Amino acid sequence: MRADLRLPDLPDARHVTVGGQDVAYLDEGAGEPVLMVHGNPSWSYHYRHLAAAVAAHGHRAVVPDHVGMGRSARPAAGDYPFTYERRVEDLGGFVDAVLPDGPLTLVVHDWGGAIALAWAVRHPERVRRVVLLNTAAFPLPPGAGLPWHLRAARVPYAGDGAVLLGNAFVRGAVHLGVVHRMPRQVRRGYLAPYDSPARRLAVLRFVQDVPASPSAPAHALLAATERALPGLLAQVPVLVLWGLRDPVLDARILERWRELVPSAEVHAYEDAGHFVLEDAREVVVPRVLDLLDRT
């Protein structure tokens, strides 16, 4: 099923079939592409301002919605695996279809980092630059555990009901993920694709796929990605833009990025949370444009 959402500050989506599923994406501007990959529980709307700015700056902004999210297809549980590995495969299929050759810049947030960087370490020749926005692409560092709201959403039956029936995870994210309260129309934008239980399944599956232990299904791929990251990221410019008041990806995650990529340019914002593009857009967007100009 295709979700034809129309919002006043978001262009109409284009569509491509990837792995038998309809994938919606924004495609603005022309020039060297900047591929922006969102996380959970957001969608391409998260990048609306950055995509417009990048396009106006002489680059091509391409922003897919993961299957089950945004304006992409909503397969039932038995029709799609909703796993980390499949997400990486889907991103690869999307890139093959929409951006088949040449260098590209990656901008990643939340689960988008784990997905896009797992693809990137397999295709290092395609990566020109990397921008990290409150994301992780490695297992939890020692001493770091799942935050309370992730643990609550993973409780069997009760967590499923809260996420699917009550939309608690999406509603919670738009409040807990920012320091400065989102305007009502922005909150509505984030919530718009998730207006019924059937349309929230991908949100729940992402929550369940967070690897809390080495035995978790996603752990092996995350660990393999982590091992390959230093080799990839030492070869390209890396910009880290981080909201320090993130209830999910805290200072220990940022410190791990510093260890993995000592050459990275890091800007951390005391007055911003998980959705750093919402809290600190006025400084984050110019930093990205500056990176595109000088590297």
**Of these residues, 110, 160, 209, 279, which one is catalytic?**
110
Active site residue 46: no
Can you give the residue ranges of every domain in the chain? 14-294
- The model carries a pTM of 0.96
Mean pLDDT of the chain: 95
The DSSP result for 29-58, as a single string, is --SSEEEEE--TT--GGGGHHHHHHHHHTT
**Of these residues, 22, 27, 246, 279, which one is catalytic?**
246
**Of these residues, 22, 59, 274, 279, which one is catalytic?**
274
Question: What are the pLDDT digits (tens) for 7-64?
Answer: 877 899 999 999 999 999 999 999 999 999 999 999 999 999 999 999 999 999 999 9
Structure tokens, 147: 């935050």
pLDDT confidence bin for 139, thresholds 50/70/90: very high
Cα separation, 247 vs 69, whole angstroms:
22
Q: What is the pLDDT of residue 213?
A: 87
Length of the chain: 295
pLDDT at residue 3 greater than cutoff 60: no
Active site residue 96: no
Q: What is the pLDDT of residue 1?
A: 37
pLDDT confidence bin for 4, thresholds 50/70/90: low
Q: What is the pLDDT of residue 289?
A: 99
φ, ψ of residue 22 to 5 degrees: the values are -80, 125
Helix (H, G, I), strand (E, B) or coil at 152: helix
Question: What are the pLDDT digits (tens) for 158-209?
Answer: 888 999 999 999 999 999 999 999 999 999 999 999 999 999 999 999 999 9
**Roughly how many angstroms between the first and final C-alpha of the chain, as a whole number?**
40
Active site residue 110: yes
Supply the Cα-derived Rg of the chain in whole angstroms: 17
Edge-first strand listing for the sheet containing 265-269:
14-18, 21-28, 60-64, 33-37, 104-110, 127-135, 238-243, 265-269
pLDDT at residue 148 greater than cutoff 70: yes
Average pLDDT over residues 217-245: 98
Q: What is the pLDDT of residue 143?
A: 74
Indicate the DSSP class of residue 176: H
Q: What is the pLDDT of residue 269?
A: 98
CATH architecture of 14-294: 3-Layer(aba) Sandwich (3.40)
